[in-house]
Chain A
Amino acid sequence: MIHLDAMPMPMVIIDHSLNIIEASGKAEKLFGRSASFLNWVDHESKDKAVRFMQHKHVEKLELNLVTAEGVISLFTVFINWDKNTAAVVLQLEDQLIVQLMNKVKEHQRRLEESDMELILKKNELEVSFGRISELSTAAIHLTDEVVLIPIFGDLSVSLIHYNQERILNNIYSQNIDEVIIDLQSVGRMDEAGVEELMKMIQSFSLFGAECTITGVKPEHAPFLNQFKTIKKLTFINNLEDKVARIIC
């Protein structure tokens, strides 16, 4: 008979109670010394081991075994009974699967990380966007009583919403008499955005401030027709003249 240690794989001889009668050097090195085979079996595989190795004598079985280092690994267990003893060969199964799974997980983790980075970038962008929006409607004090608000970019509901409170506070607290809104740097307009602007201008008049709109482009004109209903609102076509008059 060939000595167990000559076998290329970890191997043990067990009896019907799953006691280890003899273990190869490879097996003991991998799992440590033990009186019972069950000591090598992971908690959640024990029932399976008892049922299929002790009660039924199957020839092949997958079990999770715990190595001496405490690592749970999947083994295919080959069993060959000869009267009162069985030769058991243990073949580590999941190395290839584990390697593949780890690769897949690595990719997943990388995706998750870039996903998280994107979220953080999105938050940063939102902050920057707010700042840009604020800068797009700066309130410039021409004199103590006159404020110029040049609007840059697209005239949208969100642009007005974002800045309305700051502008109104400014006009109220500084006792502003006249607000000049310059639209020459406005790109697109839509009806909802124009309506919000109109509401804001109406609020100016509540504080007693007059409003002048300048820099209207031909393509914006149709949107602004409804503004004619607002009192204390005038349109001018040349900001320079107006500023010159104020400064004189």
Chain B
Amino acid sequence: METVTHFTHVLLDGDQEKAWEYVVNEVENGTSTEDIFYQLLTPAMVEIGKKWQENEITVADEHLATTTCDFTLARYKHEIILPRMKNTPTDQGKALFFCVEQEEHDLGIRMIAQIFEESGYEVRLMGANLPVEFVLTMAVNWKPDIIGMSASMLRQGEKVPSYIQRLMERFEDIELLIGGRFLSLPDQLLDKADDSKVTMIQEGSELSAWISNRAKGGK
């Protein structure tokens, strides 16, 4: 917990080197990628969001912290995940990730993409603010097995059902993963889909369970 508080300040200071030191330290202590993302990076960014709500920081501070976290993530992929995966086959399938239209908060989906990469998937990350037409074009050409989408704000979350519908009517066999902060908002209206091809992910642990279940060939 104390580490999270320190790490939050490091991000707000925009200190990329220091932020990386924290992460490397965790890696050396044997902390898993999931734990680094879910127990350090995510809580720090949540804390930064709270600080804005508390009128303690401005949006400019938030932007700086976000870029710093973004940089840390990019470095994590190249210095930790890719070397780890060098001699491991990527044979679990293809996974495509993006944020829905007008959603600019893409840190979460970037973490998820890396977790899939480390789990032996071939991953394409299409980033923030992606209109459904782009997703469809990419899916037709690249033929993913899994498509994961994320929305953070309520207004963007309202677009998720139409994405699900457009993707499901076009691709019968693709599994859809839905995640992001909007799922936890009291006003969001997305039903617990009963379709076995659509899974809502609210907690990191749910995703880990989903991945290991799929690796075993279960549903």
Contact = CB atoms under 8 A, between A and B. Distances in A.
A108 B127 contact: yes
Nearest to B124: A119
A52 B104 contact: no
A48 B187 CA distance: 18
A188 B45 CA distance: 55
Main SS at interface, chain A: helix
A126 interface: no
* Contact-residue size bin, chain B (C-beta under 8 Å from the other chain): 20 to 34
Interface in B124-142: 124, 126-129, 138, 141-142
A15 interface: no
B114 to A, nearest CB: 17
Contacts of A47: 53
Interface in A93-135: 93-94, 97, 101, 105, 108-109, 112, 116, 119-120, 123
Nearest to A100: B63
Contacts, number: 37
A36 B63 CA distance: 30
Interface in B54-68: 55, 58-60, 63
A109 B155 CA distance: 22
Contacts of A116: 138, 141
B24 interface: no
Contacts of B124: 119
B188 to A, nearest CB: 11
Nearest to B62: A62
B156 to A, nearest CB: 10
Interface of B: 52-53, 55, 58-60, 63, 104, 124, 126-129, 138, 141-142, 153-155, 187
Given A43-B154, A62-B52, A105-B128, 12 more contacts: A43-B187, A44-B153, A44-B154, A47-B53, A62-B55, A62-B59, A101-B104, A105-B104, A108-B128, A112-B127, A116-B138, A119-B141
